[in-house]
């Protein structure tokens, strides 16, 4: 007796070889319009959607905080979207994980004179590690987010690409995503032409967050006041010290290195100088803020560590002269031509063809293909 065989299953819109209604998708929902639209569009298409929102810090404090993701109001908004589109929604308490994986390192890096980017660590260590594993525990076939970035299936595996809208592109904050994580992740908004298109979709779905403003702050840094957060996390951190010119002259005093960032010009607390001065570097050990003229900010050699490489060839197998690439040393900068020289143990020296100002330890240096939109990975800028 011959067994009947099912007809060939068509690849669905998420690139999975399963019927849409049998494909479970966990959607990471921040309560904002982007992730809400992702959940709504997948639910409307017929996917088995499960919404998950993370409580990342003190819920009571969050209720009084506006303008940042994952706050109490945002949890409420995510739940309302799930009710509107009729899919299950869960809130997971990740406060301890977030504090240990993100906030503590942020505080320690800032105290050491670096300028950290906690949103990258949150994606790397919480959303794309812990939450991704939770999605698998829920028997989800993939996890979708509201990030503006694209994932393509390339000849050598999953590839990461910049968003279609350069003004919304979030590739700088996702450079540490691994190839294994990319195999499981989906980014439905990456191909949209603009944020206006996202809001139009939200209105069409009748979502209560269609007109909700975008988040502006890091979720645990109210009003962008890094120093205030560090003082709360590390009492006594704001120790006074000297403001010193790069030529050795002491120009004044300060109330704490944590109040300054590389490249800063305003609010230095020194007067009587003819030419404008900028923060060139921070010496946390000596409690010194080193200042100088703008041209002293320029750097061509950028040392990086913890390199995550998404190229098709092993990172250490670089051609003579290093990998040709375009790199971004700040989230607000455009990629610039560079050469990447592997040094072993996840480290590299990035040689910029044209000097960049304000290259700061703690920021990310993200690698892109010299042409096209592909993200090749990146690393963390360190002090030599």
What is the DSSP annotation of 28-72? E--SSHHHHHHHHHHHHHT-EEEEEEEE-S-HHHHHT--SSTT-H
Given the residues 69, 70, 119, 122, select the one marked as catalytic: 122
Contact yes or no for 281/262 (Cβ under 8 A): yes
In angstroms, the CA 143 to CA 136 distance is: 9
Backbone angles phi, psi at 232, to 5 degrees: -75, -40
Helical (H) or strand (E) element with 308: strand 298-309
Q: Is 219 a catalytic residue?
A: yes
C-alpha to C-alpha distance for 150 and 189, rounded to whole angstroms? 8
**What burial letters (b/e) apply to 365-374, b meaning 16+ CB within 10 Å?**
bbbbbeeebb
From CA 201, how far away is CA 309, in angstroms rounded? 35
SS3 (DSSP) at 295: helix
Q: Which residues are catalytic?
A: 122, 219
């Amino acid at each position: 007796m011959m067994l009947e065989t099912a007809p060939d299953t068509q690849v669905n819109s998420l690139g999975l070889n399963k019927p849409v209604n049998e494909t479970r998708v966990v959607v990471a929902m921040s309560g904002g319009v982007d992730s809400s639209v992702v959940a709504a569009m997948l639910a409307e298409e017929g996917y088995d959607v499960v919404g998950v929102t993370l409580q990342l810090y003190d819920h009571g404090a969050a209720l009084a905080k506006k303008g940042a993701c994952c706050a109490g109001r945002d949890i409420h908004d995510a739940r309302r979207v799930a009710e509107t589109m009729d899919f299950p929604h869960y809130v997971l308490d990740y406060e301890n994980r977030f504090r240990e994986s993100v906030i503590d390192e942020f505080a320690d890096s800032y105290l050491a004179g670096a300028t950290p980017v906690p949103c990258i660590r949150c994606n790397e260590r919480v959303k794309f590690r812990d939450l991704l594993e939770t999605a698998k525990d829920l028997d989800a076939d993939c996890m979708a987010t509201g990030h503006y970035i694209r994932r393509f299936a390339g000849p050598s595996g999953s590839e990461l690409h910049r968003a279609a809208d350069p003004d919304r592109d979030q590739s700088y904050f996702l450079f540490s995503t691994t190839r294994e994580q990319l195999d499981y992740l989906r980014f439905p908004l990456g191909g949209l032409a603009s944020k206006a298109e996202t809001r139009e979709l939200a209105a069409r779905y009748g979502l209560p967050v269609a007109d909700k403003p975008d988040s502006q702050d890091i979720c645990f840094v109210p009003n962008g006041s890094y120093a205030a957060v560090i003082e709360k996390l590390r009492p006594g951190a704001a120790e006074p010290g000297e403001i010193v010119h790069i030529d050795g002259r002491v120009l004044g005093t300060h109330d704490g290195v944590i109040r300054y960032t590389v490249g800063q010009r305003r609010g230095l607390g020194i007067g009587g100088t003819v030419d404008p001065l900028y923060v060139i570097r921070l010496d946390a050990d000596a409690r010194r803020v080193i200042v100088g003229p703008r041209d002293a900010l320029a750097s061509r050699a950028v040392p990086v560590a913890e390199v995550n490489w998404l190229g098709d060839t092993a990172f250490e197998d670089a051609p003579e002269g290093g990998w040709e690439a375009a790199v971004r040393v700040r989230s607000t900068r455009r990629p610039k031509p560079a050469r990447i020289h592997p040094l072993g143990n996840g480290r590299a020296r990035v040689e910029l063809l044209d000097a960049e100002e304000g290259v700061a330890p703690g920021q990310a240096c993200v690698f892109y293909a010299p042409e096209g939109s592909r993200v090749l990975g990146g690393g963390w800028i360190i002090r030599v």
